[in-house]
Structure 1
Amino acid sequence: MRVLVTGGAGFIGSAIVRYLVGEERVQVLNVDKLTYASNLASVAPVSHDSNYALLKADICDPVRMAAAFADFQPDGVIHLAAETHVDRSITGSAAFIETNITGTYVLLEAARRYFENLSAKRRDTFRFLHVSTDEVYGSLGAEGMFTEETAYDPSSPYSASKAASDHLILAWHRTYGLPTIISNCSNNYGPYQFPEKLIPLMILNALDGKPLPVYGNGSNVRDWLYVDDHVRALFLILRRGQVGEKYNVGGRNEQTNLGVVERICELMDRFNPAGFSHRRHVCFVTDRPGHDQRYAIDASRLETELGWSAKETFDTGIEKTVRWYLDNRAWWESVRRGVYAGERLGLDGKRERPLAAVKRDAK
């Protein structure tokens, strides 16, 4: 099997590349623009494998995308290339519109023209999987979960751009017969995640003795999905998912943001004792605009129809994640020296204002 993966040097993308090449022995073409969030060190474990190839290209380039399909002749596409950080979308929405919407359109057109020229036998098995987010659904109240039928209600430029791309994916199936599938996942975490995101940022700040800033009062709830569980789901959906449909992927691991940070502090106290509790560095800062209160994924369809289930609980997954960052300094130190030093994003020219410190008695 030959799979074209877009964004394969990013966090989830590199995980699916390592999984497909290393465990499933699938031939992979990694199409990546190599933006700030890309890191070729994340695919280093398989980079010399004969089943792996890299194409540095922008999905917004129609000539390069058409050539990628023609040259590689994929049996399937897993489309992950996207701008993904909500905070960055607040102050730099143009890149999100360009990559997430225009880029998806360009890729769909390249896939459509390629698909139309395949033999009938290959058209029967070709699939285009678009990887999206639960953020397209907006915010939940205290009860309920997102299902595949939940109406879209995006709150940020990021989630709006992903919602638009989801609609393009469905339209290209309905209008042109392109065999597309959409997956909508909850918050991913795990090894190799770019440290602008909550969990790696808190681990590295705790390691450096820096403040651990929590938005608002820390009560926002997310459903956390370990990245290795997610990539197993993606390959399953690509192979066995129903064309024209959607599959929600979630870990059934709801946690408040404050609870996540406190759990990281507990693990850092165990694995990297500092003579005091790392919780002393937790502080609340002004919330970001449009911050959704709660996400929760109902993954019943994926579980019942395709037989998938998450292997990691939040406790097992977060422990593996903390240990990985402690054991892999070379990977994240190069990021911190180069493209991102841990500063707060999405302030739109405003200075960060601490609201309160969380005082904890320490040993």
Structure 2
Amino acid sequence: MDLYTQLAERPTFVTGADGFVGSHLVDRLVEMDADVHAFVRATSSGELKNIRGHGEALTIHRGDLRDKHSVERALRPLAEHSDSLLFHLGAQAHVGESWDRPYETIDTNVVGTLNLLQSIVDLDLDIAAFDMAGTSEEYGNPNEEMVEKYEYDGNDRVLLSERSPVNPTSVYATSKLAGDFLTMNYHDAYGLPTLTTRMFNNYGPRQNPRYITGTIITQALERDIVELGNLESKRDMCFVEDGVRGHLHVALAGNPGEQYVYGYGENVSMRDWARTILDVGAEAEYWELPEIVQREERFRPGDSDVEELLVGYEKLHEETGWKPSVPWREGIARTIEWYANHPEKWYGRVDWR
């Protein structure tokens, strides 16, 4: 039986629904004929960037995660059901900006998560699953005092799993870790069917151009130099469609009260990631090969950078069948195509001008 047949007409509630991963999740839920409730941040314009085209296939709830009244009001329609799935993807999700906007990051990611969980309790909602989207950044760099707690692959690289110690090195990572613990607290105290997921470095169409992949692509489209921060750090890059499938597999087949981590299962230095992106774009004649330059002013502050992230996703695969399906070069090609064809979506949002 196809796992996704469980989604037909099923109530689903998505925070951050108009954002990068959230909008791709909404696409998939609409495709599967789910009853989708999209929670989006209220703005003066009320404009939707990514999910407007779904029209009446969505129920839009405008509010703010930091405002419990608007959260509770949006969740109230779920009281009529007992099988709702909640996907909590709304967040201030940029590491660099968490240093520039630390109070907003904590308010949104910690207080916002608390508002959701407490509203579920206060409304006495009978839900099927609450998926809290965490981040690989929660692992940080290996803690030398806990070296015996880590697992290693055949090349002596730290392989991060659900059992690995956490060591957040940014306001963003700390805020997401707090959200994870709150999510588990409400499982232990109230029996909520909560699960936490830690995605490893999603990339793809619609992503904010201030993230590494968009930064590389937008610079290459506009000029003959690509300026980046630390080129030696390594990340496990997972295409957004695989990331969405991970959320769905966890919510539909995961065990409440548990954590699931996933990604591509291989990592790459940011130097080699940039080179691969530029090679793929040059082959498709989007640009000639620009020069890659490392700039210290683009580094994370102090000692807060994470040197290397690599995931072991065996638990998710064994329990739900999930595994990544989009190779890096294919995902990169699809991402370049989107940025090239939608300059109006990113032109005023880059941080390299």
TM-score range for the pair, normalised by the shorter chain length: 0.7 to 0.9
Residue among 41, 48, 51 paired with 1:40: 48
2:4 is matched with which residue? none
Residue among 113, 133, 148 paired with 1:104: 113
Structure 1 range deviating more: 149-158 or 26-35:
26-35
Residue among 29, 34, 37 paired with 1:26: 34
Task: Check conservation: 1:10, 1:39, Cα contact below 8 A.
Answer: no
Residue among 304, 322, 325 paired with 2:336: 322
Task: Check conservation: 1:9, 1:39, Cα contact below 8 A.
Answer: no
Task: Check conservation: 2:201, 2:237, Cα contact below 8 A.
Answer: yes
2:57 is matched with which residue? 51
1:251 is matched with which residue? 264
Q: How do 1:141-156 residues align onto structure 2 when only pairs under 5 Å count?
A: 143-156=157-170
d(CA) in 2 for partners of 1:135, 1:93:
16
d(CA) in 1 for partners of 2:203, 2:133:
16
2:273 is matched with which residue? 260
d(CA) in 2 for partners of 1:103, 1:69:
13
Residue among 297, 300, 322 paired with 1:288: 300
2:23 is matched with which residue? 14
Q: Note the C-alpha offset of 1:238.
A: 0.9
Q: Note the C-alpha offset of 1:28.
A: 1.1
Question: Normalising by structure 1, what TM-score?
Answer: 0.84
1:269-308 Cα distance to aligned partner (Å, 9 max, x none): 222355x422x2x111112121100011111011111001
d(CA) in 2 for partners of 1:39, 1:288:
32
Structure 1 range deviating more: 69-78 or 148-157:
69-78
Q: Note the C-alpha offset of 1:44.
A: 3.0
Structure 1 range deviating more: 10-19 or 202-211:
202-211
Structure 1 range deviating more: 181-190 or 59-68:
59-68
RMSD of aligned Cα (Å): 2.0
Residue among 65, 68, 71 paired with 2:71: 65
1:310 is matched with which residue? 324
Structure 1 range deviating more: 261-270 or 190-199:
261-270
Percent identity, aligned pairs only, is 27
Which residue type is aligned with residue 312 of structure 2?
D
Task: Check conservation: 2:227, 2:295, Cα contact below 8 A.
Answer: yes
d(CA) in 2 for partners of 1:85, 1:157:
10
d(CA) in 2 for partners of 1:113, 1:76:
17
Q: Structure 1 pair 341/34, CA: closer, same or farther in 2 (3 Å)?
A: farther
Q: Note the C-alpha offset of 1:72.
A: 4.2
Question: Normalising by structure 2, what TM-score?
Answer: 0.87
Task: Check conservation: 2:280, 2:329, Cα contact below 8 A.
Answer: no
Structure 1 range deviating more: 264-273 or 254-263:
264-273
Q: How do 1:1-363 residues align onto structure 2 when only pairs under 5 Å count?
A: 1-21=10-30, 23-33=31-41, 40-46=48-54, 48=55, 50-73=56-79, 75-114=84-123, 116=124, 118=125, 123=126, 126-140=128-142, 143-209=157-223, 211-216=225-230, 218-272=231-285, 274=287, 276-278=288-290, 280=291, 282-286=292-296, 287-289=299-301, 290-333=304-347, 336=348, 340-343=349-352
Which residue type is aligned with residue 235 of structure 1?
L
2:5 is matched with which residue? none
Q: Secondary structure at the match of 2:237?
A: strand
Q: Structure 1 pair 210/159, CA: closer, same or farther in 2 (3 Å)?
A: farther
d(CA) in 2 for partners of 1:250, 1:43:
25
Stretches of structure 2 lacking an aligned partner (at least 5 in a row): 1-9, 143-151
Q: Structure 1 pair 39/253, CA: closer, same or farther in 2 (3 Å)?
A: farther
Which residue type is aligned with residue 132 of structure 1?
G
Which residue type is aligned with residue 293 of structure 2?
C
d(CA) in 2 for partners of 1:34, 1:342:
25
Number of paired residues?
324
1:38-57 Cα distance to aligned partner (Å, 9 max, x none): 972311332x1x33121120
Task: Check conservation: 1:18, 1:45, Cα contact below 8 A.
Answer: no
Stretches of structure 1 lacking an aligned partner (at least 5 in a row): 345-363
d(CA) in 2 for partners of 1:311, 1:220:
24
Task: Check conservation: 2:281, 2:333, Cα contact below 8 A.
Answer: no
Structure 1 range deviating more: 52-61 or 77-86:
52-61
1:150-196 Cα distance to aligned partner (Å, 9 max, x none): 12110011101111111101111111111100011100001111111
Q: Note the C-alpha offset of 1:255.
A: 1.1
Which residue type is aligned with residue 35 of structure 2?
Q
Q: Note the C-alpha offset of 1:313.
A: 1.4
Which residue type is aligned with residue 144 of structure 1?
V
d(CA) in 2 for partners of 1:14, 1:199:
18
Q: Note the C-alpha offset of 1:343.
A: 3.2
